[in-house]
């Protein structure tokens, strides 16, 4: 066990210790956890105040300084468990859930040992691919598989604030203990903060009575800045302007939430570059809410460092435990949620979440080509499945259409242009493209990414995500507008664009033409009105035979 590099490198970030290839809790911690496991008649832990005293004793046994916790943490635990919980809720928590958590944490060393023993066997492929718990640093593509029982134990450590703070800030890691979550409740009480904690407490109530089975995968995806013969590297503008890939289907939903989509589409997390954003603090917008209703997502905050512009994070297999209403200050926990998603052949629920961070407060710079490119490449990284590109290459070859070289700069630059392809050949290409998609109907479910609190232009972001999903060979994009007035004509504009049979390259070039004019102050209207002014009561724009705007 001690020879495993992944474990040795990550051990300083775990609360357990290792000696002679064995992971264990210090003896005083074992005794304290055993007392908790026996229930309040033995441990005398029957209130939030006493629970936090027990937590402090365990932290002291682990040589964790109480000074590293938020100042009002103890008061937050007391407020929630002693005042905000009903008497019956409190009784069940201390008589049933806390003992179950004590037993679960006692098993953490053995759960970790079993995890590392099986970490190289999860993916049944020829080469040994490591999936063990380790730091997934920036620019290091990799994947970690965690059993859901291990995730539950790790989150139990977060609740008890047992993770060391060992240079997490220097490593660009998020906070992982729950001290700020509870301290914020006391320091600036709000119903939304109480509801966030209720979601997490509900998760522990559920897993203490019925431990979930299966696994969750956490993957750091990277588009390399340097060329790679086996991977798509970070695209430049020419990659997009010359793309001949057809635009995928575009579905507009004016109501509903991304996580309520009934299919298996990839759900976009409007992420902070630090995964989870303010989930364990005061934050309560799209990303934070998703982490509260599916707390297994929080486990990724333990080992995934901040994302760079060429990176995304893909998480597959989490379960949703809570229902909710509202958003931001109106967010409210509204009870249990029964997640009926199927399980894949690796034991993961078919819930796919991709975290991509948009530009924050971009202002007018978001219209400059450099930043449009940054946003589309970020979304492309998140939506891309590299293996599908290899299948797409095969289809090109089967049709006799070649590319000079299948890399980021020339993948979509076909020697045979669309103008030279007969209608019959083009239809054959489209049929083959659709045939490739049969049996793999995993589209993208998204919405106003990078808008709202981040201040992005929703019309620009909608088109950028459509282009990225199409280029990534996703069969459709389901776009949730959340009733935003600026997008009231999105469905009509998307339908018109599809009727023109534009490619990714065509729409990209149109978007860049608009963005250039917008950044120079030559237009102040949104992209949808600029492209189709007739929908807004103005004269229609003219396009030539190549689909180019006639000015």
Annotated binding-site residues read: 272, 286, 327
Whole-angstrom distance, CA of residue 136 vs CA of residue 180: 24
Whole-angstrom distance, CA of residue 120 vs CA of residue 118: 6
Identify whether the C-beta of residue 196 lies closer than 8 Å to the C-beta of residue 331.
yes
Give the three-class secondary structure for 136. strand
Known active-site residue 287: yes
Identify whether the C-beta of residue 294 lies closer than 8 Å to the C-beta of residue 316.
no
Whole-angstrom distance, CA of residue 465 vs CA of residue 377: 10
* Burial track 227-252 (b if 16+ CB lie within 10 A, e otherwise): eeeeebbbbeeebbebbbbbbbbbbb
Whole-angstrom distance, CA of residue 106 vs CA of residue 20: 19
Largest CA distance in the chain: 82
> Where is the binding site for substrate, in residues?
272, 286, 327
Q: Select which of 179, 288, 319, 375 is catalytic.
A: 288
Known active-site residue 260: no
DSSP secondary structure letters along 492-550: HHHHHHHHTT-BHHHHHHHHHHHHHHHHTTS--S-HHHHH-GGGGTSPPPEE-TTSPEE
Whole-angstrom distance, CA of residue 377 vs CA of residue 357: 11
Q: Select which of 149, 269, 437, 459 is catalytic.
A: 269
Chain centroid to CA 9: how far?
A: 25
Identify whether the C-beta of residue 153 lies closer than 8 Å to the C-beta of residue 104.
yes
CA proximity to 32, closest of 87, 131, 98, 116: 98
Known active-site residue 288: yes
β-strand partners of 333: 324
Whole-angstrom distance, CA of residue 333 vs CA of residue 323: 6
Whole-angstrom distance, CA of residue 11 vs CA of residue 302: 12
In residues, how long is the chain?
551
Q: Select which of 287, 314, 375, 457 is catalytic.
A: 287
Catalytic residues: 269, 287-288
């Amino acid at each position: 066990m001690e020879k495993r590099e992944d474990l040795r490198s990550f051990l300083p970030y775990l609360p357990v210790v290792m000696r002679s290839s064995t992971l264990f809790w210090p003896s005083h911690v074992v005794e304290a956890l055993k007392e908790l496991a026996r229930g309040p008649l033995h441990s005398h832990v029957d209130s939030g105040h006493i629970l936090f005293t027990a937590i402090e004793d365990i932290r002291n046994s682990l040589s964790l300084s109480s000074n590293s916790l938020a100042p009002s943490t103890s008061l937050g635990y007391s407020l929630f468990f002693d005042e905000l919980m009903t008497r019956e809720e409190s009784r069940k928590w201390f008589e049933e859930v806390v003992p179950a958590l004590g037993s679960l944490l006692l098993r953490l060393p053995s759960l970790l040992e079993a995890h590392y023993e099986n970490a190289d066997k999860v993916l049944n492929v020829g080469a040994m691919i490591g999936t063990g718990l380790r730091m997934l640093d920036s620019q290091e593509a990799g994947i970690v598989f965690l059993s859901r029982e291990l995730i539950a134990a790790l989150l139990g450590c977060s609740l008890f604030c047992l993770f060391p703070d060992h240079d997490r800030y220097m490593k660009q890691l998020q906070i992982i203990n729950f001290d700020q979550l509870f301290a914020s409740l006391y320091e600036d009480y709000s119903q939304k903060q109480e509801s966030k904690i209720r979601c997490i407490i509900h998760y522990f109530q559920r897993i203490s009575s019925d431990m979930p089975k299966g696994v969750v995968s956490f993957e750091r995806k990277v588009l390399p800045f340097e060329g790679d013969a086996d991977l798509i590297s970070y695209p430049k503008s020419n990659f997009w302007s010359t793309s001949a890939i057809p635009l995928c289907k575009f579905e507009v939903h004016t109501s509903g939430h991304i996580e309520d989509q009934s299919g298996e589409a990839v759900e976009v997390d409007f992420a902070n570059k630090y995964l989870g954003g303010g989930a364990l603090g005061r934050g309560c917008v799209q990303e934070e809410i998703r982490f509260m209703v599916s707390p297994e997502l929080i486990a990724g905050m333990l080992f995934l460092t901040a994302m760079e512009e060429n990176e995304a994070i893909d998480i597959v297999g989490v379960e949703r435990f809570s229902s909710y209403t509202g958003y931001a200050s109106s967010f409210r926990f509204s009870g249990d949620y029964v997640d009926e998603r199927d399980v894949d052949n690796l034991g993961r629920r078919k819930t796919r979440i991709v975290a991509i961070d948009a530009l924050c407060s971009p202002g007018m710079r978001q219209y400059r080509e450099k930043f449009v490119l940054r946003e589309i490449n970020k979304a492309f990284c998140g939506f891309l499945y590299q293996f599908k590109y290899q299948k797409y290459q095969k289809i090109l070859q089967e049709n006799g259409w070649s590319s000079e070289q299948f890399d980021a700069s020339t993948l979509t630059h076909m020697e045979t242009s669309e103008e030279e392809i007969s209608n019959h050949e083009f239809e054959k290409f489209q049929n083959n493209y659709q045939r490739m998609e049969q049996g793999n109907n995993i589209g993208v479910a998204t919405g106003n990414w990078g808008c709202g609190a981040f201040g992005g232009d929703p019309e620009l972001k909608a088109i950028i995500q459509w282009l990225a999903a199409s280029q990534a060979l996703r069969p459709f994009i389901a776009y949730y507008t959340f009733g935003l007035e600026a997008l009231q004509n999105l469905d009509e504009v998307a339908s018109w664009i599809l009727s023109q049979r534009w490619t990714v390259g065509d729409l990209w070039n149109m978007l860049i033409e608009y963005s250039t004019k917008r950044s120079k102050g030559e237009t102040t209207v949104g992209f949808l009105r600029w492209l189709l002014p007739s929908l807004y009561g103005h004269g229609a724009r003219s396009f030539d035979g190549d689909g180019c705007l006639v000015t």
